[in-house]
Structure 1
Amino acid sequence: MNHAVSLAHSAQCLKKAIPLMVKYRMPVTPINYAIWYCYIQGNKPSLNAELDHVIALQQTCSQDKAKEIFDKHLTQDDLVFFQEMTEKFHTTMEQVQQDISTTLDHSKSFTTSLVDSQNELNMLVDVNSYNEILGCVERLTDDSIAMQDYAREFQTKLAVAYNEIKDLKEALNISKEAADTDTLTGFYNRGKFDSDIVNFCLEYSEQAQEDSLAVLIMFDIDHFKRFNDDFGHQKGDEVLRLVAKKVRENTTEAANVYRYGGEEFCITAYFDTINDIIAFADCIRLAIAKLAIRKKHDVTAKRAISASFGLAILRPFTNSTVLVERADRALYIAKTHGRNRIEIAPDI
Structure 2
Amino acid sequence: MSKTLSFPPVYKHEFQQASENLRQSLLLANRHKTPITPVNYAVWYEYVSGDNQALMNSIDTRLKKNEAITSEVTQYLYEKYVLMGMPERLNNTNNGLKLVVDNTLENLSKVEATASQCSQGLMQSQAQLETCNDIDELKTLVNQILINTQQISSSSGELKSELTRSTEEIMKLRQELESVKEMARTDSLTGLLNRGAFDNELQYLCSKGYSFSLVLFDIDNFKRLNDSFGHLLGDKVLQFFASLLKNQCNDIHLAARFGGEEMAMIFMHSSLEETFMITESIREKFSESRLKKKGSNESIGQVTVSAGISSYQDKDSPISLIERADQALYRSKTGGRNQVNFI
TM-score (norm 1): 0.53
CA contact (8 A) 1:271 1:277 kept: no
CA contact (8 A) 1:201 1:317 kept: no
For residue 265 of structure 1, report the CA deviation from its aligned partner: 0.5
Specify the code of the residue in structure 2 equivalent to 1:238.
K
For residue 23 of structure 1, report the CA deviation from its aligned partner: 6.4
For residue 205 of structure 1, report the CA deviation from its aligned partner: 3.6
For residue 319 of structure 1, report the CA deviation from its aligned partner: 2.1
* Change in 2 beyond 3 A, CA 1:316/1:193: farther
Report the equivalent of 2:217: 219
* Change in 2 beyond 3 A, CA 1:24/1:202: closer
What SS does the corresponding residue of 1:245 show, helix, strand or coil?
helix
Q: Map residues 102-117 of structure 1 onto 2, 5 A cutoff.
A: none
Range moving further from structure 2, 170-179 or 258-267: 170-179
What do the CA deviations read for 1:201-258 (whole angstroms, capped 9, x no partner)? 324543x46xxx3122110111112212233333322322332233333443432211
TM-score (norm 2): 0.54
* Equivalent of 1:280 in 278, 281, 294: 278
Specify the code of the residue in structure 1 equivalent to 2:335.
H
C-alpha distance in 2, partners of 1:289/1:24?
Answer: 35
For residue 163 of structure 1, report the CA deviation from its aligned partner: 2.2
Report which structure shows greater RCO (CA 8 Å, sep ≥6): 2
Specify the code of the residue in structure 1 equivalent to 2:256.
Y
CA contact (8 A) 1:23 1:179 kept: yes
Report the equivalent of 1:341: 339
Between the aligned residues of both structures, percent identity stands at 25
Report the equivalent of 1:323: 321
1:185 aligns with 2:190: yes
What SS does the corresponding residue of 1:315 show, helix, strand or coil?
coil
C-alpha distance in 2, partners of 1:322/1:252?
Answer: 26
* Equivalent of 2:264 in 263, 266, 271: 266
* Equivalent of 2:178 in 164, 173, 176: 173
For residue 172 of structure 1, report the CA deviation from its aligned partner: 1.6
Aligned residues: 243
For residue 340 of structure 1, report the CA deviation from its aligned partner: 1.4
C-alpha distance in 2, partners of 1:241/1:259?
Answer: 10
Q: Map residues 1-348 of structure 1 onto 2, 5 A cutoff.
A: 53-56=74-77, 59-60=81-82, 89=97, 155-156=160-161, 158-188=163-193, 192-203=194-205, 205-206=207-208, 208=209, 213-293=211-291, 303-345=301-343
* Change in 2 beyond 3 A, CA 1:330/1:53: same
C-alpha distance in 2, partners of 1:245/1:174?
Answer: 21
CA contact (8 A) 2:215 2:265 kept: yes
For residue 199 of structure 1, report the CA deviation from its aligned partner: 3.6
C-alpha distance in 1, partners of 2:249/2:290?
Answer: 21
C-alpha distance in 2, partners of 1:147/1:297?
Answer: 67
CA contact (8 A) 2:213 2:271 kept: no
What do the CA deviations read for 1:57-81 (whole angstroms, capped 9, x no partner)? 67347xxxx9xxxxxxxxxxxxxxx
C-alpha distance in 1, partners of 2:175/2:298?
Answer: 49
C-alpha distance in 2, partners of 1:204/1:147?
Answer: 60
* Change in 2 beyond 3 A, CA 1:55/1:324: farther
What SS does the corresponding residue of 1:184 show, helix, strand or coil?
coil
C-alpha distance in 2, partners of 1:147/1:300?
Answer: 74
Specify the code of the residue in structure 1 equivalent to 2:272.
I
CA contact (8 A) 1:193 1:260 kept: yes
What SS does the corresponding residue of 1:278 show, helix, strand or coil?
helix
CA contact (8 A) 2:100 2:166 kept: yes
Report the RMSD for the aligned CA atoms in angstroms.
4.8
Specify the code of the residue in structure 2 equivalent to 1:165.
I
* Change in 2 beyond 3 A, CA 1:229/1:86: closer
